[in-house]
Chains A and B, each alone.
Chain A
Amino acid sequence: MSGDEMNPAAVAQAVEDIQGDDRWMSQHTRFVQECKDAEPEVLFIGDSMVQLMQQYEIWRELFSPLHALNFGIGGDTTCNVLWRLQNGELDNIGPKVTVVWVGTNNHEHSAEQVAGGILAIAQLLTSRLPKTKVVVLGLLARGEWPNPLREKNVAVNSFLRSWLPRLGHTQFLDVGAGFVHSDETISTRDMFDFLHLTAAGYRAIAKPLIDLLLQILEGTPEEKRASLV
């Protein structure tokens, strides 16, 4: 496992305002404010894969009813998510489940480093939110045809599969099944730009995800018994 000090993907880092309209910081500030007002049972944190989900009907149908908050920001790397979590986005909330989906934008880092960054996020969550169960979503394939980023994302998932079970209260969920067809292509019906999901793409990943969330939220037998006391 990569030590944090040597892993650049596990170093918290804010996004610099290069374009000139400060949108990243505006979004972060809004999320910090949402933490003051809301009492989410489920927290989603990550990049545009998380952020875009909230714009489709599926969010209102399946995830809003679970009292879910969406703290996704397009373009974010593991470093950016770490920074946000350390700078207010976990204050005053106690979600039962935190869903983490990030890593596909870590272009400067190796697969092992990216997995280490995701691990660091899971570790931070379990230490700051002792009651939360962390669900880490696997990175999806990308690009119309086989390419080095697909291999990299597969490798990240592979590291996560072996590392995450060693962390308590954390599990890995692979939602990528079916996106790569037998001819090795990805369809624009699922990913409109071979990276971001369409409504149909989100519907496909929502099924296994919602099943797992409901399972966790409905609680283990031990928790159910304890809550009856």
Chain B
Amino acid sequence: MSSEDSNPAATPTPGVDTQGDGRWMSLHNHFVSNSKDKEPDVLFVGDSLVQLLYQFEVWRDLFSPLHALNFGVGGDATQHVLWRLSNGELGHISPKVVVLWVGTNNHGHTAEQICGGIMAIVQLIKDKLPKAYTLVLGVLPRGKMPNPLRERNAQVNKLVQEAVSSLPHASLLNVDPGFVHSDGSISHQDLYDYLHLTPQGYQAVCQPLHAHLKGLLEKQAEN
């Protein structure tokens, strides 16, 4: 197992402002102050796949009613999410479920390292929110045709599934409804740039996610 020191994907790292407008830190600060005002039952955290979800009708239809907050930041890899959650975004809130969707932007990292990064986040959430359940969403396939990133993402999911199988407070949910067609292609109707979801793509992902979340919240209520 990778220790924090030797796994860059599991070493908390803030986003670097390469462009010059400080947007990453602005978003982080917003989330920290949101966590002071709001009382979410569900917290979504991750990369652009989480962030963009908030922009479409599906969020208002399915997740607002569950009192959900969205802490997605486009471009984030596991080490960035780890940093954000370690630096205030979990302060003052006690969601029953944390939905974690991250890993596709970990370029240069191996599947093992990415899994290590995801598991470090799962551990951090357990430390800070002992009563919360963490639902890790499987990383989706990407690219129009088969490519090494699809293999990497599938391997990440397999490794995470194994790692969470022994944990009572976390599980992996595969939310890929079958985006890859029989000829190996992905359609732009589902992933408009072969990475990000269209509203149609989100519907296909979110219906089962929503059902699963409701089940989890009901179980948490019983405890």
Q: How many pairs, one residue from A and one from B, have CB atoms within 8 Å of each other in the complex?
A: 87
B43 within 8 A of A: no
Binds A, one of B81-89, B174-182, B186-194: B186-194
Chain B: number of interface residues, binned into ranges: 20 to 34
Q: What does the 1/0 interface line of A182-197 toward B look like (CB < 8 Å)? A: 0000001000111110
Can you name the residue of chain A whose Cβ is closest to the Cβ of B23? A194
* Contact A23:B22 (CB < 8 A) given known A192-B55, A193-B51, A193-B73: no
Residues of chain A within 8 A of B199, CB atoms compared: 55
A188–B148 CA distance with the chains assembled, in angstroms: 35
B96 within 8 A of A: no
**CB <8 Å contact, B193 and A23:** yes
B6 within 8 A of A: no
A26 within 8 A of B: yes
Classify the interface of chain A: helix, strand, loop or mixed.
loop
B11 within 8 A of A: no
B184 within 8 A of A: no
* Contact A149:B143 (CB < 8 A) given known A23-B194, A51-B192, A54-B192: no
A74 within 8 A of B: yes
**CB <8 Å contact, B54 and A26:** no
**CB <8 Å contact, A143 and B143:** no
B65 within 8 A of A: no
B198 within 8 A of A: yes
A21–B150 CA distance with the chains assembled, in angstroms: 8
Number of A residues whose C-beta is below 8 Å from B?
Answer: 33
Option from A20, A23, A54 in Cβ contact (under 8 Å) with B144: A23
A96 within 8 A of B: no
Option from B22, B51, B193 in Cβ contact (under 8 Å) with A27: B193
* Contact A20:B19 (CB < 8 A) given known A27-B194, A193-B51: no
Can you name the residue of chain A whose Cβ is closest to the Cβ of B27? A193
A162 within 8 A of B: no
Within 8 A of A (CB), among B50-68: 51, 54-57
Q: What does the 1/0 interface line of B188-223 toward A look like (CB < 8 Å)? A: 100011110011000000000000000000000000
B190 to chain A, nearest CB (A): 12
Can you name the residue of chain B whose Cβ is closest to the Cβ of A57? B57
A97–B195 CA distance with the chains assembled, in angstroms: 29
B142 within 8 A of A: yes
Option from B18, B19, B107, B193 in Cβ contact (under 8 Å) with A74: B193
Within 8 A of B (CB), among A174-208: 188, 192-196, 198-199
- Complex A-B: 20 CB contacts under 8 Å: A19-B107, A20-B143, A21-B148, A23-B142, A26-B144, A51-B192, A55-B192, A56-B55, A74-B193, A107-B19, A143-B26, A144-B21, A144-B26, A149-B19, A150-B21, A188-B30, A194-B21, A194-B26, A195-B21, A195-B23
A residues with CB within 8 A of B: 18-23, 26-27, 30, 51, 54-57, 73-74, 107, 142-145, 147-150, 188, 192-196, 198-199
Q: A143-B26, A148-B20 are known; give 10 further A-B pairs, CB within 8 A.
A: A19-B107, A20-B147, A21-B195, A23-B193, A26-B144, A142-B23, A143-B22, A147-B20, A192-B54, A193-B74
